Amino acid sequence: MSTKITESKMEQVLSYAYDKAINGVPGLDSATELAECYRTDSNCVHSQCNSLIRWQNTKAGASGFVAGLGGFIIMPVALPANITSVLYIQIRMIAAIAHLAGYDLKDDKVKTMVYACLVGNGATEILKNAGVQIGKKVAINAVKNISGKVIIDINKAVGFRLVTKFGEKGFVNLGKMVPFIGGPIGLLFDATATNIVGNTARNIFVGKKV
């Protein structure tokens, strides 16, 4: 029996996952702690983010195993474990990238930008439609000037995209085939999606390497 995903449920999951990503859960580093593991003497934030993204791709590909590690994250609403674990991993990765780029993860505006990165290649369109011009990257000062209305608009657009992405006829049904066909396909999908999400976050918060 599949679990219907609604925008309301997705909003609760994102908020809860972000809180756990920022504050940490037993046995797992917080986003800030994760980021500091990749901070090197080279001071090249772009390279640091690339290393972080590569490692997180491996984690997303093994999300089924991560989800079973002592119930590392108990969501406030019932959604398939493959979805909640991948969202948690991706949010923590994006937040870590934002931290490496100098953003305040406690800022609600930064949290909204993190959410936007979850839709991958669609993030630029969502931000543009909300009036946020990113150019080569989103400047910290630009984030500070985002209004409450823009935050709401972005969050709504992200919620809609994610519900569509993880809807009953897509990701959830794929999981029904585990552990036969769905397992390997699901792992590949998670890792590929996480790579796209990571690259999007790096390009938005850090900027494209020239």
Cβ(82)–Cβ(190) below 8 Å: yes
Give the pLDDT of residue 126: 92
* 56: Cα within 13 Å, side-chain hemisphere: 34
Burial class of residue 210, CB neighbours in 10 A (0-12, 13-18, 19+): exposed
Give the pLDDT of residue 82: 66
The SS3 call for residue 25 is strand
pLDDT digits (tens, 9 = 90+) for 84-116: 777 888 999 999 999 999 999 999 999 999 999
Give the pLDDT of residue 72: 47
Structure tokens at 24: 């940490």
Please, which contacts does 41-45 make with residues 24 or more away whose CB atoms are closer than 8 Å?
A: 45/100, 45/101, 45/206
Give the pLDDT of residue 158: 93
Give the Cα-Cα-Cα angle 74, 119, 171 (nearest 5 degrees): 60
Structure tokens at 201: 């976050």
Per the rule left: phi > 0, alpha: psi between -120 and 50, beta: everything else, 80 is: beta
Give the pLDDT of residue 83: 72
Q: How many helices (H) and strands (E) does the chain have?
A: 11, 0
Give the pLDDT of residue 66: 52
Structure tokens at 82: 């493959």
Distance CA 39, CA 44 (A): 9
Q: pTM above 0.85?
A: no
Q: Which residues of the chain have pLDDT under 70?
A: 1-4, 59-82, 136, 167-189, 209-210
